[in-house]
A = this chain, B = another copy of it.
């Protein structure tokens, strides 16, 4: 029998969790973030079992990896070029086996090793439901990407394809897809990988920073597509007081992604894609397309506040309706 959290107790649990942090890091009440003068960004995200992840489809190491990536993706989409670290609030029932928590923190550590930063501290408590609340800290680079910085005339850009994570989930859960097409194995594998081990797009941010046309100021709108592509466009438009036209033919589909309306809905609303969704001046967008080949231009920002329409028939896109409460 594996030892449970109730059997370990809080002190021993924290001692075991401390092994995932630098030596001495857990021996105090707070963590020292920094002595240095570069601007620091913070992001807090909550992941709840049964809402954001399920024990049935997601191994605990993948839960840990994805929880870190969800946070780091927000940092990347705000212009952070270096990860300082994270704090983790862990809630789990006393009956939770230790191995589950250990594998969770192994996934957390793997993500930090891959993308930078350390486990700075945190807290744990018993509760009815397993959940993680992570705060992540990153250093700002030369560009403060911001949801409120989209401007009419900008092009809407994406760092990669959308809908893959949703497809990966359907494959893992063996639930229906938008249509019963047979899919190439490479697309299925890509979809499962995107669902289980997403990446924050620090790489795409770096090419964006490197390719800015000199005459342009450091101004761009940006967010990530953790809640889906359409939700990302909606949030850019809402924060910036703009509208958008989406180009149906140019939606950021994966290679071999079916061209059907039902599949377009997964591309728009699948969620958990963790790509950068940017609003860029046309010259910068063009330059980024050259330096970041998998980036896509899929629309334009307009003055038509709050309205997101299709380019071909002018039809209004239905709100994504993304909500953990629905």
Contact = CB atoms under 8 A, between A and B. Distances in A.
Count of identical protomers in the assembly: 2
Interface in A296-326: 321-326
Interface stretch (A115-123, A186-194, A211-219, A246-254): A115-123
B42 A30 contact: yes
Contacts of A322: 10-11
Interface in A9-52: 9-11, 13, 24, 27-37, 39-48, 50-52
Contact of A74 (B30, B45, B138): B30
Contacts of A138: 30
Given A24-B148, A44-B135, A135-B87, A325 B126 contact: yes
Contacts of A89: 44-46, 89, 133
Which of A89, A128, A147 has most B Cβ within 10 Å?
A89
A78 B29 contact: yes
A80 interface: yes
Contacts of A13: 325
Given A127-B129, A135-B135, A44 B8 contact: no
Interface residues of A, number: 72
B121 A9 contact: no
Contacts of A41: 30-33
A54 interface: no
Nearest to A122: B44
A125 interface: yes
A109 interface: no
B126 A129 contact: no
Nearest to A92: B325
Given A91-B46, A127-B131, A239-B27, A325 B32 contact: no
A172 interface: no
Interface in A164-195: none
A269 interface: no
18 contacts: A9-B321, A10-B326, A11-B323, A24-B148, A28-B78, A29-B78, A30-B75, A31-B41, A32-B39, A33-B39, A36-B37, A42-B137, A44-B89, A46-B91, A46-B125, A48-B91, A89-B89, A127-B131
